[in-house]
C-alpha cells in the first residue's frame, strides 16, 4: 500500500507542522509533497525535516512566488496540479489556507484530508496580517477571493474523507463545504512533556507567532497595566511593534529550543492565550501538560480543551480590560491546578492521535494483500 503525505508548505513550525511530523512518524517511508520549503525561515526546526523524502513543486525554484505566495495565492491550482500522485493508493493531505487538498488523486486511491481550517482569508476569519485595512488590498482580495472560494469548494468535494482538528473546524467544514468531518484532535508533542520535579512559578507566559491574529498586543498591554512579569516566546512580523509597546516587565525570548520551552512552561504561573477565531490551539494543551493553567480568550477550539475553573480561566473579549479582569480572577483563586491540567492534557496525547488516525485510515482505505497501513 503506497501512501503519500501532502502539506501546504514548510516555512514555519506550528501546530500544523507538528501534525505532519506525527503523520510522518506513522508512515516514515511516505514522501511529503509540498509547495516549497524555506529552510532558513524554519531556523532550528529545519533539522526536524532534513532526512525526509520531501518533493517540492516548481515554487521551490521561483523566489518571487515563494516570497509573495500569499498575494499570489491564485496560483495554488497550478501548484497542486503540477504533482503526479497516480502511483499512490492513499493520499493524506494536511491542509490549511494554501488548499493543498487540490492535488489530483487518481481513483481508486483514497484521499484523506486532515483539515486545520478552511482558508481564513476567504471566509472573514482573523488572519496573521492586517493588510485588509488598505483599500487597494481589499479590492484585490475581493477579486481574487471570489475565484479562490470556488476553487476551495470544488477541491473540498473531491476529498473522500475529512478529518477536522476540532469540533469548531468540523462545523466550518459543514458550513462552507456541506461536508461531514470526523474529529481527531491533534497530538501534543510527547517530547515537550518530560519535565522532572517542580519549578517555582514566577511569571506569565505567551507562546505563539507574533502576528495580529494572536493578539499579543493585548497580552502585553495587560501585563503593562498590572506590571506583571511576562515572557513571550515566538517571532513574527509584529515583533518590532510589540517590542516598542512592551514595558519593563515584558521579556521577549524569540524562537526557543524544545528544552528551553519545557523549562518556560514549567516555570509559568499561567499561559495567556488570546488568539482570535482559534481553530484548535496547541499551546493551551502544551501548557496544561506541565500542570500550567491557561487564561484564554473564550472562542474557537480552545473552548474544547480548557475547562473553566479547573484547568484555566476564560475572558470574553480580546480587550485589555477583559484580560486584566481575568488575570485578577485567576490570582484570587486558591486552586491547585497542576493535577487537573496534566490529566486534561493527557487526553490529547501523541499515542491517542496515532491510534485514532491509524484506525480511521485502515477502516476506510482497507488493506492490500500482504501489506498494512502503518503499524501500531
User: 47-61, 85-99, 136-150: which range is least confident on average?
Assistant: 136-150
- Decide: 84 and 31 in contact? Cβ < 8 Å: no
Average pLDDT over residues 142-163: 94
Give 34-91 pLDDT, tens digit per residue.
999 999 989 888 999 999 999 999 999 999 999 998 888 999 999 999 999 999 999 9
Pick the residue with more confidence: 68 or 143? 68
Q: What is the predicted pLDDT for the residue at 70?
A: 87
pLDDT at 22 over 90: yes
Question: Distance from CA of residue 239 to its chain's centroid?
Answer: 19
Q: What is the pTM of this model?
A: 0.87
For the chain, list the domains and their CATH numbers.
3-187+349-365 (3.40.50), 190-346 (3.40.50.2000)
Measured CA to CA in angstroms, residue 162 lies from 70, 181, 279 at distances of 24, 5, 15
Give 312-368 pLDDT, tens digit per residue.
999 999 999 999 999 999 999 989 999 999 999 999 998 999 999 999 999 998 754
Q: What is the predicted pLDDT for the residue at 223?
A: 98
- Please state, in angstroms and rounded to a whole number, the distance separating the CA atoms of residues 352 and 237: 35
pLDDT at 375 over 90: no
Cell of 156: 473540498
User: 94-108, 123-137, 177-191: which range is least confident on average?
Assistant: 123-137
Confidence of residue 126 (pLDDT cuts 50, 70, 90): confident
Average pLDDT over residues 149-153: 96
Q: What is the predicted pLDDT for the residue at 368?
A: 43
Give 223-257 pLDDT, tens digit per residue.
999 999 999 999 989 999 999 999 999 999 998 88
Non-local (6+) Cβ contacts of 211 within 8 A are 128, 129, 236, 237, 238
Confidence of residue 374 (pLDDT cuts 50, 70, 90): low
Give 168-223 pLDDT, tens digit per residue.
999 999 999 999 999 999 998 645 445 545 678 999 999 998 999 999 999 999 99
Q: What is the predicted pLDDT for the residue at 148?
A: 94
Measured CA to CA in angstroms, residue 8 lies from 101, 102, 193, 196 at distances of 9, 10, 28, 36
- Please state, in angstroms and rounded to a whole number, the distance separating the CA atoms of residues 253 and 208: 11
Q: What is the predicted pLDDT for the residue at 370?
A: 40
Pick the residue with more confidence: 259 or 328? 328
Q: What is the predicted pLDDT for the residue at 121?
A: 85
Closest CA to 228 of 261, 212, 206, 209: 206
**Beta-carbon count within 10 A of 181 CB:** 23
Amino acid at each position: 500500500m503506497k501512501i503519500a503525505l501532502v502539506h501546504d508548505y514548510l516555512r514555519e513550525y506550528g501546530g500544523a507542522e507538528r501534525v505532519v511530523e506525527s503523520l510522518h512518524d506513522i508512515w516514515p517511508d511516505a514522501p511529503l509533497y509540498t509547495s516549497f520549503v524555506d529552510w532558513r525561515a524554519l531556523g532550528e526546526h529545519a533539522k526536524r525535516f532534513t532526512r525526509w523524502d520531501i518533493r517540492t513543486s516548481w515554487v521551490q525554484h521561483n523566489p518571487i512566488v515563494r516570497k509573495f505566495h500569499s498575494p499570489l495565492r491564485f496560483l495554488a491550482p497550478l501548484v497542486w496540479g503540477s504533482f503526479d500522485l497516480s502511483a499512490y493508493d492513499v493520499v493524506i493531505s494536511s491542509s490549511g489556507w494554501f488548499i493543498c487538498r487540490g492535488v489530483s488523486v487518481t481513483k481508486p486511491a483514497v484521499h484523506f484530508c486532515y483539515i486545520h481550517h478552511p482558508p481564513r482569508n476567504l471566509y472573514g476569519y482573523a488572519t496573521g496580517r492586517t493588510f485588509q485595512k488598505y483599500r487597494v488590498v481589499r479590492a484585490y482580495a475581493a477579486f481574487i477571493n471570489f475565484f479562490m472560494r470556488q476553487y476551495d469548494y470544488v477541491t473540498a468535494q473531491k476529498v473522500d474523507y475529512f478529518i477536522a482538528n476540532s469540533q469548531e473546524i468540523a462545523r466550518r467544514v459543514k458550513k462552507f463545504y456541506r461536508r461531514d468531518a470526523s474529529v481527531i484532535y491533534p497530538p501534543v508533542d510527547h517530547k515537550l512533556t518530560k519535565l522532572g520535579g517542580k519549578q517555582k512559578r514566577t511569571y506569565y507566559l505567551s507562546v505563539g507567532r507574533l502576528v495580529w491574529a494572536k493578539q499579543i498586543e493585548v497580552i502585553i498591554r495587560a501585563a503593562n497595566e498590572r506590571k506583571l512579569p511576562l515572557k513571550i516566546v515566538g517571532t513574527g512580523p509584529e515583533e518590532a511593534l510589540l517590542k516598542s509597546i512592551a514595558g519593563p516587565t515584558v521579556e521577549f525570548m524569540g524562537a526557543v529550543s524544545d528544552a528551553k520551552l519545557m523549562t518556560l512552561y514549567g516555570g509559568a504561573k499561567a499561559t495567556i492565550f488570546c488568539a482570535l477565531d482559534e481553530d484548535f490551539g496547541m499551546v493551551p494543551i502544551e501548557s496544561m501538560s506541565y500542570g500550567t493553567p491557561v487564561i484564554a480568550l473564550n472562542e474557537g477550539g480552545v473552548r474544547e480543551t480548557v475547562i473553566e475553573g479547573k484547568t484555566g480561566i476564560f475572558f470574553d473579549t480580546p480587550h485589555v480590560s477583559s484580560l486584566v479582569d481575568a488575570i485578577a480572577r485567576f490570582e484570587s483563586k486558591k486552586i491547585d491546578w497542576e493535577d487537573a491540567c496534566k490529566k486534561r492534557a493527557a487526553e490529547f496525547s501523541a499515542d491517542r492521535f496515532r491510534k485514532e488516525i491509524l484506525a480511521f485510515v485502515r477502516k476506510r482505505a482497507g488493506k492490500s494483500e500482504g501489506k498494512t497501513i502503518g503499524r501500531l
